[in-house]
Amino acid sequence: MPRKTIRNHGTQGGEQSNTEFYKKLENYKTLTIVDDALNQSIKELYDNNIWGLKTKFENLKTYYEQIGISEYISWNENIQYLDFTPPLAIRQTSLQAFKAGNYRAINTDKPNSIITEKNILTDYHFSLTILNLSKFIKITMISLGY
């Protein structure tokens, strides 16, 4: 059986129907364009390079419009400037709520048991005790000649 060849590189006939969705800027719900130094550097590189990428992608869009195929080109849609901006999550916390297991199901598919949460809290209290004793350990080490 002869091999099937695709001469149009997936731009016609829906060969890349899965990727067409991601060529449109409005389809990105959790990503936004962030105006920072990194994006300004990317824009400068895109606008001014030895290959003339910006001009070539603009010409490609015109060509696509002429032959009647998808005119969405991710570079022309500014997909390269998208970035994830995490939402600010300010949550009031307390050791009592931690001990009661109120935080055991946050950001996990399989929450810890309340017993595990109590053990974590015990370890936390123990580590605080060690941190408080660390100044005495330094004094002891100095007095022993270390």
C-alpha to C-alpha distance for 61 and 145, rounded to whole angstroms: 75
Domain range list for the chain: 17-84, 95-143
The continuous run of DSSP H or E covering 40 comes out as: helix 37-47
Q: Residues with Cβ < 8 Å from 28, sequence gap 6 or more?
A: 22, 79, 82
What's the maximum distance between 2 C-alpha atoms anywhere in the chain? 85
DSSP per-residue string spanning 8-19: TTTSSTTTTHHH
Nearest to 123 by CA among 89, 98, 90: 98
pLDDT digits (tens, 9 = 90+) for 5-33: 444 555 555 555 677 788 888 888 888 88
pLDDT value at residue 146: 43
More confident residue, 129 or 68: 68
Q: 51 pLDDT exceeds 90?
A: yes
Could you tell me the pTM of the whole model? 0.45
Q: 144 pLDDT exceeds 60?
A: no
Percent of the chain with pLDDT over 90: 6
pLDDT value at residue 16: 59
The angle formed by the CA atoms of residues 92, 126 and 142, to the nearest 5 degrees, is: 120
> What rounded mean pLDDT belongs to the chain?
75
